[in-house]
Amino acid sequence: MTADGVRLGCAGWSLPREHWPAFGAQGTHLMRYATRLPAVEINTSFYRPHRPETYRKWADSVPATFRFCVKVPKQITHAARLVDSEALLETFLAQCGALGERLDCLLVQLPPSLPYDAEVARAFFGHLRAQYAGNIALEPRHASWQAAETLLVEQRIARVAADPPPVAHWDEPGGWSGLRYYRLHGSPRLYFSAYEPAWLEALARRLETALADGAQVWCIFDNTAGGAATGNALDLLERMGE
């Protein structure tokens, strides 16, 4: 973590060439990434499964304090839409569980077309919680999920603070307050735009406030399409007192 305790990183550990001097020179991209940044969000799990051996190799290649967040597969969130996904969920947890103590969080990102269904949500998160006790961050993108706050608090699930927000005010965290998960996609051009220094300075103060409230804090830059995420993460790291 940073000196302040924020699990700060990017959505993936690809290192743009212009930032190579800021990282260790030896090892895989993940090993080099982990010489400076204390956490990462694994997004490839959303698109395809990884063997437990792969997760174990990743865990063994980073420092003991490094932490992973793993994105739940789209088969569960987008294809099954959380319904009757118990077997898929159990398979996924068996795979990413090989990260061991370095697995800190799961990210559940929902499609914009998926409205809140209290019965479906309670069944899904109840099943997930029965098997996984760690941090869970939910990124809904349909306004009806504003009605899920009570359920999220009960199940200890944080609603992602996203930029740009898919719904008004969802650039601030919600749900369970014990975890604050900031997910920054780039603005105004989604996935491409870099954040300006003044914006990052304001973000640093927001993260410090979240820490002062006693929350666990994650901050992930997902503006990776043009390589801006790495530079923004390094900038914020310095502002937080690396």
**With pLDDT > 70 as the criterion, what percentage of the chain qualifies?**
98
64 located within any domain: yes
Confidence (pLDDT) at 3: 43
Beta strands in the chain (DSSP E): 6-11, 39-42, 67-71, 103-109, 135-139, 158-159, 161-163, 174-175, 179-184, 216-221
Tally the domains of the chain: 1
DSSP string, 155-219: TT-EEPEEES-SSTTTTS-EE-TTEEEEEE--SSSTTTPPPPHHHHHHHHHHHHHHHHTT-EEEE
Residue 5: pLDDT band by 50, 70, 90 thresholds? confident
CATH number at residue 222: 3.20.20.410
Is 24's pLDDT higher than 70?
yes
| 113-123: average pLDDT | 98
Quick: pLDDT tens for 201-238. 999 999 999 999 999 999 999 999 999 999 999 999 99
Where in the sequence is the domain holding 160, given as residue range(s)?
6-239
1 located within any domain: no
**How far lies 201's CA from each of 101, 160, 168, in Å?**
31, 20, 22
Look up the pTM and report it. 0.96
* Cβ-Cβ contacts under 8 Å for 200 (sequence gap 6 or more): 232, 235, 236, 239
Is 162's pLDDT higher than 90?
yes
Confidence (pLDDT) at 161: 98
214 located within any domain: yes
